[in-house]
Amino acid sequence: MTNSHEDYQQLCKLSRKGKILEGISHLLEWDQETCMPKEAVKIRAEQLQTLAGMIHKEQTGKPFANALSKLIDLKTGDIIAKGLKAEQKAALMRWRRDYLMQTSLPNAFVEQFARVTSEAHVVWDRAKKQNDFSSFLTTLEEVIDLNKKKADYYGYSDHPYDALLDIYEPEMTKKEVEKVFNPLKKTIVELLKKIQNAKQIDDSKLRVRYAPSQQLSFGHQLTAMIGYRNDKGRLDLSSHPFSSASHPTDSRITTRIIPHLPVSNIRSILHECGHAFYEMGLPVEHYGTPLGESVSLGVHESQSRWWETRIGQSKPFWKFLMPHMKKHFKGKLDGVGLETLWKGVNKVEPSMIRVEADEVTYALHVILRFELEVALIEGSLDPKDLPAAWNQKMEELLGITPKTDSEGCLQDIHWSMGAFGYFPTYALGNLYAAQFFEVFEKEHPDWESSVMKGEFDFIKQWLTDNIHIHGRRYHSGELLKKVTGKAFTAKPFEAYLTEKYSQIYKL
């Protein structure tokens, strides 16, 4: 029992070193996106490459492998160590999973994948700017082939897409995603048709110029209002909003200012704060182990969408925020009432670009990408036919057709990065959040009156106590069952959308 404890502590020590190196890498990436001098690009790439090699060595080298194999059988997954707690056994299972994934890919393949996707990003960027899908086709075919090989290396029992999805959403399968996405798609398409036949919303007051400097200063006020701690994080500007954490005491966020879309800044700050709150809520005592890490990209996204949509697009939140906005942006919202403002924030209108999509149509953008990349990986869709397939699905789901491939199948960076299996996590986050929210609402039936007063700490505490504190002890399905008592389902999200937008659009 004593030896098992000592062996476990030795494994924690080795794992922590790799995590610290990851944190340094994250800080370099944050610096690159926010304030790095332009001339430093080449040396920064070399710095990051060097760190990546060091991290991989720490996580797959003999010292780590030997320490792990003393506690768990790497082939069978059977726990060898005696006297460990249940959460420590769960951590061993996660360590083993990560180790097997990292060592299943030959070094030559890893290098080839890194080279091809690095080059693919440049080709994709040029193709998007020039609206020339044909110039990206050969590269895309190569990236798809590499992903098929990656799936084979990782292994799967049913479908190659399962192996890719598992990278971002452990234990989730294509079949399980389809089980929730198919009825969700039908529900949203029907709801969208009803909304389009209703009286449309005027959001013109939220589409006039709000000075960027004023928007940024209001953003700093907003972070303070909802309890984002500046002694553990900071808000900066970047071309694409993101959250970057190296430790629960250092979780940074960025936003993007669009002069004529002030709500975009507010939503991005709430979204990134949701990610940061998750990282800040992870148990410090388990830092460097799976018990101090987030569950999955889907669960992470549930936290950001929780704050951006369930709180940030609620009427109580805007009742609280409106007087602050009117005071800060003098004259911009004169004569605008709460109902007009809240409806403007929640306006539904099909659009071409995923990242600009409203709360109702967003999932359709994700489902479209999921269905297309499954088809590309299984070979039922030839890459050369991707633009036509994309446009057809846009017409079917959203009733609009891209005029160019740049606003169609070339709009996202993910496929050029080789990130097949990533897209579903965006929609899964909404579904997880809705399922969690049902329980939260039962435990805090007066949450709306508290939010109207600007009280948010109880929300963060609930999320930490129920989700953050567990780290990776449970995978997403297990966590949902633990918190809600129910298996994963899209029904809470469907019910939420239908009820909310039936009220807004008087359906």
Active site residues: 272
- Per the CB < 8 A criterion, the answer to whether 45 and 51 are in contact is no
For residues 211 and 291, give the distance between their C-alpha atoms in angstroms, rounded to a whole number: 43
Map residue 494 onto helix, strand or coil. Answer: helix
Distance CA 404, CA 133 (A): 10
Q: Which run of H or of E encompasses 311?
A: none
Sheet holding 250-255, edge to edge: 235-237, 250-255, 243-247
Q: List, in sequence order, every beta strand (DSSP E) within 311-417.
A: none
* Structure tokens that stand for 189 in this block: 């398409």
Which residue blocks in 329-445 are alpha helix, DSSP H? 338-345, 362-378, 386-398, 424-443
Spatial distance between the Cα atoms of 144 and 275, rounded to a whole number of angstroms: 30
Rounded-to-integer distance, Cα 376 and Cα 418, Å: 13
Q: How far is CA 496 from CA 59, 67, 127, 431, in A?
A: 42, 48, 39, 10
SS3 of 424, please? Answer: helix
Q: In 284-356, where does DSSP find H-type helix? A: 297-305, 315-328, 338-345
Q: Going by DSSP bridges, is the β-strand pair 235-237/250-255 parallel, antiparallel, or unpaired?
A: parallel
**HSE, side-chain direction, 13 A CA sphere, residue 219:** 30
Residue 466 buriedness (CB in 10 A; 0-12 / 13-18 / 19+): middle
Of the candidates 121, 193, 177, 160, the one whose C-alpha atom is nearest the C-alpha of residue 366 is: 177
Q: Taken in order 450, 455, 461, 464, is the CA torsion positive or negative? A: positive
Amino acid in the structure at residue 193: K
Query: Tokens standing for 329?
Result: 């942006």
Residues 470 and 89: their CA atoms lie apart, in Å, by 13
Nearest to 367 by CA among 286, 321, 294, 431: 431
What count of other Cβ atoms lies within 10 Å of the Cβ of residue 278? 28
C-alpha to C-alpha distance for 174 and 264, rounded to whole angstroms:
32
